[in-house]
Amino acid sequence: MIRTNSDKLYSKAKDLFPGGVNSPVRAFRSVKGDPIFIEKGNGAIIHDVDGNEYIDFCCSWGPLILGHNHRGVRDSIVEALDNGTSFGAPTAQENQLGNLIISNNRFIEKIRFTSSGTEAVMSALRLARGYSGKNKILKFEGCYHGHMDALLVNAGSGLVTLGTSSSAGIPEAYTNETLVAPLNNKEAIEQAIADHGDDLACIIIEPIPANNGLLIQDVEYLQFIRKITKENDILLIFDEVISGFRVGFEGAAGLYDIQPDIITYGKIIGGGLPVGAYGASKEIMGTVAPDGPVYQAGTLSGNPVAMSAGYATLKECLKPGFYKNLEEKTKFFIEQVTDGIPAESGFHMQQAGSIFWLTFSSNRVMKADEIDGGKMEFFIELYSYILENGVYMGPSGYEVGFVSEAHSVENLTQSAKILNTGLKQVLDLH
């Protein structure tokens, strides 16, 4: 494929932005390539600035569950735009989206909109600390919760450790309040609670960890976390920025029927525009300003144009059979991709609803340290092949892919064929 225009734009962008991008993974460094610049998208297809077409499984990293440029979402945005873009005062659109969510979600009674997932998580942690009066938080190795200081931490050596920051610019004092435990390990949680329970405000987890591969946990493990946090007066936060409205309207909480204390949302909730949110019981949300002492605010929070995009998107998600159909399409896609590729060959795919992960391993992977970094060479080779043949995914082997409502059986069959051929080459199965 010719990518002259993308290359020119990238060259200019490198003068303007760090690494030429406004979010690091977009720079294509994980796949040892250069980014392609996108001009437009429709349905499951995106077009780059050189006129090349790709079937897209990145879907803007998850928000576009209806595909690109969905007519209903677009109309709703345009209708809102007719009245202006932002007022910094309440609008009916906030009520509309808030009501749609709360009346169809058994797990939260009140919600607060923010402008990103990071902001939602940051606010949820403050709420957990403000409500409980405790300081420490526990997160899991392999879960990502946005770029806030306290959560950009790696585990040290040991079962449960105080985090060491994974980014420059984070004072040790911040990460000293963050404990890090491995996923799929009950003992680590018991130990953390034994050592720090009195000052542990909350445990935060992606109930379906989907930012470092797709590390699907057993329901029984999540139930264990719920039980032990309740018994020890520790709040449980489900970070559902990816899983919320993706694996079902009620997200993973609904799928597993587990009631966390606080839930965070992002991505799909804004229908492709910048929205995040956190929700909880009326009692816990009563701690948030102006009702309570936990301060949190935002100039563009509840922006009417973004609310309209979210509302139009979520209304579609509520249609009967929506999630079942997406899950079945994803299963079909995976079956086609892996056709003739037995797990013994060192590859399989993991699936949670319409989320999938290309896994260069024969076994189910449930923890960050079970991912073999050396196998990413296979992904790099595969990525170059699929991109050249018109399939776009997040440019890293640690990223998951998403199937949208707009992916037709033809789109899925065509892209699965490309992936299947590429995989057989990479795995030397011919």
Q: Is 145 in the site for ligand PLP (CB under 6 A)?
A: yes
With CB under 6 A as the contact rule, the residue among 35, 142, 146, 279 that binds ligand PLP is 146
What residues contact residue 173 under an 8 Å CB cut-off, 6+ apart? none
- By three-state DSSP, how is residue 223 classified? helix
Report if residue 241 touches ligand PLP, rule: CB under 6 A: yes
Residue of 142, 266, 271, 422 interacting with ligand PLP (CB under 6 A)? 266
Taking the least distance from each CB to ligand PLP, the nearer of 31 and 355 is 355
Compute the least distance from the CB of residue 116 to ligand PLP, in Å.
4
**Among residues 20, 35, 67, 117, which is the contact residue for ligand PLP, using CB under 6 A?**
117
346 to each of 112, 304, 331, 349, 364, how far by Cα in Å? Answer: 44, 48, 19, 11, 11
- Do 208 and 313 contact (CB within 8 A), yes or no? no
Cβ nearer to ligand PLP, comparing 118 with 161: 118
239 near ligand PLP (CB under 6 A)? yes
211 is an interface residue for ligand PLP by CB under 6 A? yes
CA 311 to chain centre: 19
Closer to ligand PLP by CB, 11 or 22: give it.
Answer: 22
Pick 6 or 115: Cβ nearer ligand PLP = 115
DSSP H or E stretch at residue 226: helix 219-231
Only segment of 235-243, 322-330, 348-356, 413-421 that touches ligand PLP (CB under 6 A): 235-243
Displacement of CA 119 from its chain's centroid (Å)? 14
Please work out the total of residues on this chain that contact ligand PLP, with binding judged by CB under 6 A.
15
**N-to-C CA span, the chain:** 25
Nearest distance from C-beta of residue 105 to ligand PLP, angstroms: 18
Question: Which 3 state secondary structure label does DSSP give 54?
Answer: strand
271 binds ligand PLP (CB under 6 A): no
206 binds ligand PLP (CB under 6 A): yes
Q: Distance between CA atoms of 240 and 243, rounded to whole angstroms?
A: 5
Residue from 76, 91, 114, 116 binding ligand PLP (CB under 6 A):
116
CB atoms within 10 A of CB 104: 14
Rounded to whole angstroms, how far apart are CA atoms 349 and 343? 9
Query: How many alpha carbons fall within 13 Å on the CB side of residue 262?
Result: 33
Q: Is 246 in the site for ligand PLP (CB under 6 A)?
A: no
Chain residues binding ligand PLP by CB under 6 A are 61, 116-118, 121, 144-146, 206, 211, 239, 241-242, 266, 276
